Each structure stands twice: as C-alpha cells, then as structure tokens.
Amino acid sequence: MRHGKALLGLLMVGILLQTVAPQESIHKARPALFDPNRKTKPVSAISIGPTPAMIAALGGFRTVAADLLWLQAERVWDGGSWWALLPLLDAVTQLDPHFILAWQVYGWHAAYNMHAESETVIDRRYWLARGANILEQAVEANPDNWEIRFELGWTLYDRAHEKKRAAEYFYQADQMPGAKSYVTRLYYRCYEGILDIKDLMPALEYAKKRHTDLAKSDDVQHQVIVNRDYEWWMKHKDDPLEHRRQIVIENTARAQRSVPFYLYPDDPYWDVCPICGLPSKKGSEVCEVCGAPLKAPSQRGPATRGEKKT
C-alpha cells in the first residue's frame, strides 16, 4: 500500500494522543502517586530520615523498605534503645506515610517515652510538642483516617492536657467513617475537664444523637453513659460549687498519677484552698468559696527551670 509507513505513523500518533486523557485522569485520582516529595516534611531542620530523592528512587518498593525498617524498629525496641528508635520510625513514616501504626508509635514514643525519660522541663515540653507535631504531620498525610486524628487528640488530652485542641480533633475523628463510640464520649469529656459549660452542653446533645443504633454500635453502654452524663450536667450545669468538687476529683486523680501541675494550660482553676479544699480561678489571691488567703506569693506560678520531676 502506498504511503503505508506514513499512515502507520499517523495511526500511532493518534493512539498516543488518545492516551493523554486517561493519564490526566490518573493524575487527578491518585495525587500521592505523583508527589515524590510526599506531604511529609522533616520534623526538624535536619532530616534524620531518608531524603526525598532516596524515597523516590525506591519507586514502588518504598512500602517494602518501610516494612523492613519496621521489623528493625521492633528489634531495636526489644533491645531498649529508645533514642535509636527515632530515626527508624522517622524513616518508616516518610517511606510510607499511610502506615498508621508507625505514626501512632512514633508520636506516642516521643510524647510518652521520650517525655518520661527527660530530666528537665524544657526537654519535656520539647518532647511533648514534638509528639504532637509528628501526629499533626500524620493527620496531614492521612486526612481520611480517624484513628490518627484520635491518636493526636488523645495525646493532647492525656499528655499535653490541651483539652480545647484535643476536643477539635476528637470531633473531626468522630465525623469519619469507622470511628468508635469512645471518640464521641471523649469529645465532651474534654470540655468537662476544663469546665467549659458553654461548649459542654452542645457537645452532650451531639453525643446523645450518635450511635443510637444498638445493633450497629460497637459499645452498647454508650447510650447509657451519655444519658447519665447528660442528666448529671443538666442538673449541675449552673452549680459552680459542684464544678469545683469535680475539679478536686480530677486533681486527686492527677496527683495519683504524678502528672506535673505545669501541664494544665487550659484549666481555668488553679489553686486549691487549704481551708475548704475547693479550687479557685487562676491568679486568685483569696479563695472564691470561703475567702481564705491562697498560697503565699513566692509559692505562686509555674515551676521554675531545673526542678526535678516528682
């Protein structure tokens, strides 16, 4: 046939042009595939893990490399070297940002283990902030995952005691499919802990409406607990005395766990009256309940630098 090769060439060009739209469609549907730098950024100025180039070079075997490093991390953990775990976990999470368990362990390790290991206040604040930071990166890399948001919320609630921020994350986690019922309860517990009655009551209303289908609920006690809490707060929401009693209970529990008192940035109540035993707002010089003078001026304020852990 005349011009056979030219026509074949035209056919090939036409076919190649036809493949442009599907390729573009793939770009849109799988953005992670085309972002060699991933969404994660190094935690510190100096990256302690693999560089983006190394990650890109591994191609589709990033996840296998992440698995192998994870096994290595398990061995290191058994050996007890907590510092060595950090670069490994950093590498694992950078290689596979969707490995939720690795993020959870990494964030927990920083906020709990390294925090407990530290001897100075500065260090301990650092590790707490770092743990939260790690989990924030995890949330950014996995926007559709409820577990990692819950993990961040829990770290803020339980360790950093930043209950307001924790409440946001618990709420976000609760909106996602698969979230367990305890997330809902923790959401309003955050406001309970800081006695934010304004936000607490709507939160309780919200919690009542969740997980009402007992057949699908993961915790049949959820409705019972929420109703009980709701009724209690409906009765006592305008009773400041009762609030203060709740604070005492909370403080006792904290004292039993030896949680340092400088970690309550959101708590509205600070000093406990030595006479009536009830707390007053931060900065009060006399007890709001019985009028007795509170701590001497020199004893007021947060712990100074260099104080050892109790």
Partner 1 sequence: MTPQLISLIGAVVVVVTLALTRRVWAPAIVHAIPSVWRIAKITVAEARRRRVLQAVVVLVVLILFSMTFFSYLSPGEQSRMLINGGLSAITVFGILLAIFLAAFLIPQELETRTVYAILAKPVKRFEFVLGKYVGALIILAIIVAVMTAVLVLVLVLQDAMVKDLPDSTFNPNLEGVLFAALMNYFAIAVLTGLIMLISTVSSTTMTVISSFIIWAVGSLQSTIHDLAEHADTAATKLLLQVLYVVVPKLENFDFRNEVSNYLHVSYMSGWDALLQGLGYTIVVLILASIFFNDRQV
> Contact positions toward partner 1, by CB under 8 A?
1, 4-5, 7-8, 10-26, 29-30, 32-37, 56-57, 59-64, 67, 70-71, 74, 96, 98-101, 144
Give the nearest distance from C-beta 197 to partner 1 in angstroms.
Answer: 37
Give the nearest distance from C-beta 11 to partner 1 in angstroms.
Answer: 5
First-to-last alpha carbon distance for the chain, in angstroms, is 93
- Sign, CA dihedral 274-278-283-285, equals negative
**H helix or E strand, kind and range, residue 269:** strand 269-272
- C-alpha of 79 from chain center: 27
- Residue closer to partner 1 by CB (options 33, 255) is 33
* Closest to 187 in 3D by CA, of 209, 211, 165: 165
- Sign, CA dihedral 157-163-169-171, equals positive
Give the nearest distance from C-beta 111 to partner 1 in angstroms.
Answer: 21
- Residue closer to partner 1 by CB (options 63, 252) is 63
Dist. CA 294–CA 286, nearest whole Å: 5
Give the nearest distance from C-beta 301 to partner 1 in angstroms.
Answer: 45
- Residue closer to partner 1 by CB (options 134, 195) is 134
Task: Find all residues with CB under 8 Å of 79, minimum gap 6, and list them.
Answer: none
- Residue closer to partner 1 by CB (options 29, 46) is 29
Strand-pair partners of 286: 293
Give the nearest distance from C-beta 280 to partner 1 in angstroms.
Answer: 44
- Residue closer to partner 1 by CB (options 29, 45) is 29
